[in-house]
C-alpha cells in the first residue's frame, strides 16, 4: 500500500566537512607505521585472558528471543594506560608515534571500552586489525567525549593494534585508558570472511530487495546497536524518531529489555551503527566493504518493561551527539492510534547482521506480553517475493511500521523463526508507551516527543540535518540532464581545493573526486560511469557545502 511522507527539509544538506566533531567518526587516513614499517621496532603486546566461553554459551541457550537481548561479547576488566605502556618512537618526518597491541586468544573480534579518552589537538589515533585489512580512524580531539568514557567498534580477530601520532612540537600526551576489552565470541566469525555474510538465518530478506523498495526512507532511521550492560555486550535494533517540534533531536526508540540494567556509564559506551546494509538484494562478500557510520553514547530518557519485557517494553534514548548528514538519517514518523494496521513491515538487524525487512499482510491483533492486557501488537509474517522474512535475536527493539510508514511498536520477542514461519512475534504498542504508564516523564513517550503538549496523534518522518547550509554565492551545474560530463561553476572554486561527492537517492556514494586549487571558477567532471537516474551532487569548497540535483 502506498505510504505518505512529510519530508521536511529545513536545510536539505549541511556543512559536513566538520562532521567529525559530533560523533565517533573515522576521519580516514593511513597509520604512519604503514609508510615507515621497515624502520620501526616491535611494539609491546598486552595479552588478556579470554572469558569462560562454554559457560557463556550455556547461559545463552536459555535466552533465545524471549525479551532477552542477544549477547555476543563479554568484557574482561583491564587497566591499560596506552600512553604509558605503548612504545614511543620518532619517525623520519619528525612526527612521534606510540603503538600497542591488545590480544585475547581465540576472539572473533575485540571491542575496546575506555574510562578516559582525550586526544590533544594535533594528535591522531588509529586502530587496526593484525592483518591491517580493517582500519578505523583517525580519531582526533574532535572525537573527545565530554563524559570521558568511550568505546570503539569491533576490530576483527584476536588482536587489535592502537597507533597514535603527534607533531614533534606537541608536548601534551593523550589520555587513553582502556578499562575493558570486549571479547566477541559469536556472530563476528562470518561478518569478516568471504564465504557469505552475517549469521542471520537463510530466510531473511535484505532491506534492498524488492520488498524494501517502498521503505527506503524508513530504513535510514533503523540502526544496529551494540548494547553495553555490565560486562556483557548485546545486539539490538532501534530507530531514530521524529518529534512534534520537527527539530531533529536525536531521539532513538528501542526495547527496554535491551540493557535493562545498563548504568549511565554503560549508555555512554553504546555504539550505534547507521547505514549498515548491503547495496542490493544479494549479500555482500564481507563486512570489510562497508564504511563505518557510528555514534557512541546516549542517555536514557524513558522506558518501561525492564528485563522481563513487561508493559510495552519501550526505551527512549537521546544520542549524545547530533547525527551527521552523511549518515542519511531519516527521523521516522509514528502514530499513537490504537488501531490494528492491515499491513506493514519491520526493519531490523537479526543476529547483528545487515538490515533485513519482514512483511506482514494480515491485520495485526491486540495482545500482551506479560499480565497487562493490550500492551502489544501480535504479528504473523508473510511469504514475499524474495523469501519469508522473520525476526531473530538482535532484532529486539526494531520498529514495527503500519501501512502508512509510521512506527506503531518495537519488538519485544516471539516465536517466529525460519523453521516456524507461522509463529507470532510481539511488538510493544507505541500507543501504550505514549502515556500508558503516566507515573512520571521517565515512563512515557509523550513528554519527550510532544513536549509542548500539542495533542498530536501522528507524525510523518523527516529528512533533515543539524546545521544550516552556508549560501553566499551562486552554484551552477550544467548540462543537466547530462550524458558524458558536467561543468560545476562557483565563484569560490577560485583559489580553493574542491571535493565532489555524488550519491544516489538511497544515499550511497557512487562517485568521489578531489580537485586541487584552481585559477578559475569552474571544474569539469566525467559522469559517464553513472547509470541513468537521479543523483545528489555535494560540492565542498572551503569548509562549505553546496548541493544540486543531477539527472544522468
What residues pair up with 425 in beta bridges, in sequence order?
A: 379, 414
Under 8 Å between Cβ of 59 and 81: no
Given the residues 33, 256, 257, 431, select the one marked as catalytic: 257
pLDDT of residue 257: 95
Residue at a domain's end among 186, 213, 235: 186
What residues pair up with 486 in beta bridges, in sequence order?
A: 525
Q: Do residues 292 and 257 both lie within one domain?
A: yes
Name the residue range of residue 494's domain: 475-551
Given the residues 149, 233, 396, 398, select the one marked as catalytic: 396
pLDDT in tens, 330-377: 999 999 999 999 999 999 999 999 999 999 999 999 999 989 999 999
Contacts of 171 (CB under 8 A, 6+ apart): none
Which spans in 203-253 are helix H?
216-219
Model confidence, pTM: 0.78
pLDDT of residue 88: 96
Residue at a domain's end among 186, 209, 232: 186
Catalytic annotation on 313? yes
2 inside domain = no
The stretch 492-502 carries a mean pLDDT of 88
93 inside domain = yes
Confidence of residue 463 (pLDDT cuts 50, 70, 90): confident
- For 347, the 3-state DSSP assignment is strand
Q: Where residue 292 sits, what CATH number does that domain have?
A: 2.40.10.10
What residues pair up with 500 in beta bridges, in sequence order?
A: 513, 539
50 inside domain = yes
Given the residues 256, 268, 287, 313, select the one marked as catalytic: 313
pLDDT of residue 63: 62
Q: Do residues 35 and 85 both lie within one domain?
A: yes
| Residue showing cell 516523564 | 441
Catalytic annotation on 396? yes
Q: Do residues 285 and 429 both lie within one domain?
A: yes
Q: Do residues 157 and 229 both lie within one domain?
A: no
The stretch 83-92 carries a mean pLDDT of 94
12 inside domain = no
Q: Do residues 263 and 250 both lie within one domain?
A: yes
Of 23-27, 39-43, 248-252, 289-293, the range with the lowest mean pLDDT is: 23-27
Catalytic annotation on 171? no
Q: Do residues 293 and 396 both lie within one domain?
A: yes
Q: Do residues 182 and 253 both lie within one domain?
A: no
pLDDT of residue 309: 79
Q: Do residues 428 and 324 both lie within one domain?
A: yes
Structural domains in the chain (count): 3
Q: Do residues 93 and 151 both lie within one domain?
A: yes
265 inside domain = yes
Q: Where residue 42 sits, what CATH number does that domain have?
A: 2.60.120
Q: Do residues 416 and 479 both lie within one domain?
A: no
Confidence of residue 466 (pLDDT cuts 50, 70, 90): very low
Q: Do residues 146 and 280 both lie within one domain?
A: no
20 inside domain = no
pLDDT in tens, 397-428: 999 999 999 999 999 999 999 999 999 999 99
Q: Which candidate, 230, 232, 181, 151, places its Cα nearest to that of 49?
A: 181
Residue at a domain's end among 168, 186, 204: 186
pLDDT of residue 25: 52
Q: CA-to-CA distance for 361 and 96, rounded, in angstroms? A: 61
14 inside domain = no
pLDDT in tens, 115-162: 999 999 889 999 999 999 899 988 988 888 766 689 999 999 999 999
Q: Do residues 181 and 195 both lie within one domain?
A: no
pLDDT of residue 464: 64
Q: Where residue 545 sits, what CATH number does that domain have?
A: 2.60.40.3080
Amino acid at each position: 500500500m502506498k505510504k505518505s511522507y512529510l519530508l521536511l527539509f529545513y536545510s536539505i544538506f549541511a556543512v559536513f566537512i566538520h562532521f567529525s566533531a559530533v560523533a565517533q567518526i573515522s576521519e580516514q587516513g593511513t597509520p604512519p607505521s604503514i609508510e615507515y614499517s621497515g624502520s620501526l621496532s616491535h611494539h609491546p603486546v598486552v595479552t588478556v585472558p579470554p572469558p569462560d566461553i562454554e559457560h557463556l554459551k550455556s547461559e545463552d541457550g536459555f535466552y533465545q528471543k524471549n525479551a532477552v537481548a542477544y549477547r555476543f561479547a563479554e568484557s574482561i576488566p583491564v587497566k591499560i594506560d596506552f600512553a604509558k605502556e605503548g612504545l614511543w618512537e620518532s619517525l623520519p618526518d619528525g612526527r612521534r608515534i606510540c603503538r600497542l597491541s591488545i590480544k585475547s586468544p581465540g576472539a572473533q573480534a575485540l571491542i575496546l571500552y575506555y574510562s578516559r579518552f582525550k586526544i590533544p589537538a594535533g594528535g591522531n589515533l588509529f586502530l587496526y586489525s593484525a592483518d591491517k585489512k580493517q582500519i578505523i580512524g583517525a580519531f582526533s580531539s574532535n572525537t573527545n567525549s565530554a563524559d570521558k568514557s568511550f568505546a570503539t567498534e569491533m576490530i576483527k580477530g584476536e588482536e587489535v593494534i592502537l597507533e597514535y601520532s603527534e607533531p614533534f612540537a606537541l608536548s601534551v600526551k593523550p589520555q587513553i585508558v582502556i578499562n575493558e576489552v570486549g571479547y566477541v565470541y559469536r556472530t563476528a566469525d562470518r561478518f569478516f570472511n568471504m564465504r557469505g555474510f552475517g549469521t542471520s538465518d537463510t530466510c531473511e530478506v535484505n532491506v534492498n530487495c524488492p520488498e524494501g523498495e517502498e521503505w527506503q526512507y524508513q530504513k535510514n532511521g533503523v540502526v544496529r546497536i551494540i548494547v553495553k550492560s555490565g560486562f556483557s555486550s548485546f545486539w539490538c535494533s532501534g530507530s531514530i524518531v521524529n518529534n512534534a517540534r520537527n527539530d531533529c533531536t536525536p531521539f532513538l526508540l528501542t526495547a527496554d529489555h535491551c540493557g535493562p540494567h545498563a548504568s549511565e556509564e554503560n549508555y555512554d559506551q553504546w555504539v550505534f551503527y547507521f547505514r549498515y546494509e548491503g547495496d542490493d538484494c544479494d549479500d555482500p562478500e564481507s563486512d570489510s566493504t562497508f564504511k563505518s557510520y557510528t555514534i557512541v553514547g546516549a542517555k536514557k530518557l524513558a522506558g518501561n518493561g525492564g528485563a522481563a519485557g513487561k508493559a510495552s517494553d519501550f526505551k527512549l534514548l537521546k544520542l549524545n551527539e547530533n547525527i551527521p548528514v552523511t549518515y542519511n538519517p531519516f527521523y521516522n514518523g509514528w502514530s499513537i492510534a490504537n488501531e490494528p494496521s492491515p499491513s506493514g513491515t519491520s526493519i531490523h538487524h537479526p543476529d547483528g547482521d545487515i538490515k533485513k525487512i519482514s512483511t506482514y499482510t494480515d491485520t495485526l491483533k491486540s495482545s500482551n506480553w506479560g499480565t497487562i492486557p493490550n500492551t502489544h501488537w501480535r504479528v504473523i509474517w508473510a511469504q514475499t517475493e524474495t523469501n519469508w522474512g522473520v525476526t531473530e535475536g538482535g532484532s529486539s527493539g526494531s520498529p514495527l511500521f503500519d501501512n502508512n510508514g509510521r512506527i506503531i511498536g518495537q519488538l519485544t520477542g516471539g516465536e517466529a523463526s525460519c523453521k516456524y514461519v507461522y509463529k507470532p512475534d510481539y511488538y510493544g504498542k507505541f500507543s501504550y508507551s505514549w502515556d500508558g504508564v503516566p507515573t512520571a516523564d521517565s515512563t512515557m513517550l509523550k513528554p519527550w516527543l510532544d513536549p509542548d503538549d500539542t495533542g498530536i496523534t501522528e507524525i510523518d518522518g523527516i529528512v533533515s540535518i543539524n546545521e544550516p547550509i552556508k549560501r553566499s554565492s551562486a552554484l551552477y551545474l550544467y548540462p543537466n540532464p547530462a550524458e558524458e560530463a558536467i561543468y560545476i561553476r562557483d565563484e569560490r572554486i577560485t583559489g580553493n581545493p574542491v571535493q565532489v561527492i555524488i550519491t544516489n537517492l538511497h544515499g550511497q556514494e557512487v562517485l568521489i573526486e578531489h580537485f586541487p586549487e584552481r585559477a578559475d571558477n569552474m571544474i569539469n567532471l566525467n559522469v559517464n560511469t553513472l547509470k541513468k537516474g537521479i543523483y545528489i551532487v555535494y560540492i565542498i569548497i572551503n569548509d562549505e557545502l553546496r548541493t544540486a540535483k543531477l539527472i544522468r
